[in-house]
Amino acid sequence: MSLRPAEESVEFHEAALVLSDGAVFEGELVAPESGGFPEPVTGEVVFNTALSGYQEIITDPSYTGQIVTFTYPHLGNYGINPADFESERPSCRAVIAREVGSYFSNWRATEGLVSYLSRNGIAILSGIDTRALTKHIRAHGALPGAIGVLEMPELLQLAKSERGTLGKDLVKEVTTDHVYQIPGGPYRVVAIDYGVKRTILHQLAASASVTVVPASMPAEEILAMNPDGVFLSNGPGDPAAVDYGVETIRKLLGHVPVFGICLGHQLLAQAVGAKTFKMEFGHHGGNHPVQRLDDGVVEITSQNHNYAVDANSFDDLDVDVHVSHRNLNDNVVEGFTIPELRAFSVQYHPEAAPGPHDSRYLFSEFVALMGKKAS
């Protein structure tokens, strides 16, 4: 272990991001020396406002199908380490930054950001005016885009051919293909993997032995495991396209306590008849203020989603749904409870990796709900 800064040998190539509306942002692709540059890449372009935690963001499966723009101006200064991965490999299609440093300094680091991303085939576009790009996304929405060294007309055509995430079931790309166990506390939790983050599983394991199952597992098989609770994970893409997930949740409700986060929150809403919609540019960052409605407390939260639950669709449901949390920036539903079905969910990320830990009490509330069931 060395405490001295390490340096990556990198090279640059003039390149550009072209959005589907014709906007052009010129910069440079970054790659290890003699490592070669990736082929042109397309995806839905979003921005994240977190000041740190780029490794956790890059490996969050919820970013599948997206190109992530970091608003913080400098990326890569503390390298990459195995302890902070949220999944086995990067999930986003590309990374955009104002500056990607070739030096990194961190006693935990095992390699540099450029080396890690290039080794996994993820494009890195540096030298971009990320402030201007972020303002463009805020004004025009999360648009499809293309990154590469091609001529602008060719990149524009690629951007226009990119579908984005609307109507796409991206859960199938990230869910586990087998059942596995995480030893833990006295309760038994089945976690349905729509693209689950490792930190969430670690939080659940503090109180329960966790069985992680594929997103396609039927409700009958889940209930046959005799769980004390079922957890609905985060994940990528359009919740309206994950109809099999909605059907499974519908059959679970009323039989076992249910807790959902992010995509799991959206699927739980659909399971009781509510609707979801695509936001203009979504919530991505570690500093979103959310108000807990029962006592007025404001939590600073970590968020990553482009879809949200339509509050108006709660009005004529067959069950009573209580909105529990609201986003103070735009009033989006950030949480709800269904007391008669022993279910609740939040849109944001209480595990907060990265981000503040204001909301980790929600895992304790899930434990309390399972305790009531077991008593």
**pTM confidence score:** 0.95
CATH 3.40.50.880-classified regions of the chain: 171-374
Q: What is the pLDDT at residue 3?
A: 57
The whole-number pLDDT of residue 38 equals 75
For the domain spanning 6-161, the CATH number is 3.50.30.20
Spatial CB neighbours of 220, under 8 Å, sequence gap ≥ 6: 251
Query: Quick check: helix, strand or coil at residue 240?
Result: helix
- The closest alpha carbon to 268, from 216, 305, 230, 304, belongs to 230
> Which regions of the chain are under pLDDT 70?
1-4, 34-35, 373-375
User: Within 13 Å of residue 204, how many CA atoms lie on the same side as its CB?
Assistant: 30
**CB distance 140 to 130 below 8 Å:** no
pLDDT score at 11 = 87
Compute the distance between CA of residue 77 and CA of residue 319 in angstroms, rounded to an integer. Answer: 50
Q: Where in the chain is the domain with CATH 3.50.30.20?
A: 6-161
**pLDDT at residue 259 in the model:** 98
Report the C-alpha gap between 71 and 49 in whole angstroms. 5
Catalytic residue among 8, 56, 162, 262: 262
Residue located via tokens 């290890």 = 32
Q: Is 365 one of the annotated active-site residues of the chain?
A: no
Please say if 349 is a catalytic residue. yes
**Is residue 23 within 8 Å of 121, Cβ to Cβ?**
no
Q: Which CATH superfamily is domain 171-374 in?
A: Class I glutamine amidotransferase (GATase) domain (3.40.50.880)
**262 a catalytic residue:** yes
Q: Helix, strand or coil for residue 94?
A: strand
Give start and end residues of each alpha helix (H) in the chain: 54-58, 113-119, 130-140, 152-161, 171-174, 198-205, 219-224, 243-252, 263-271, 361-374
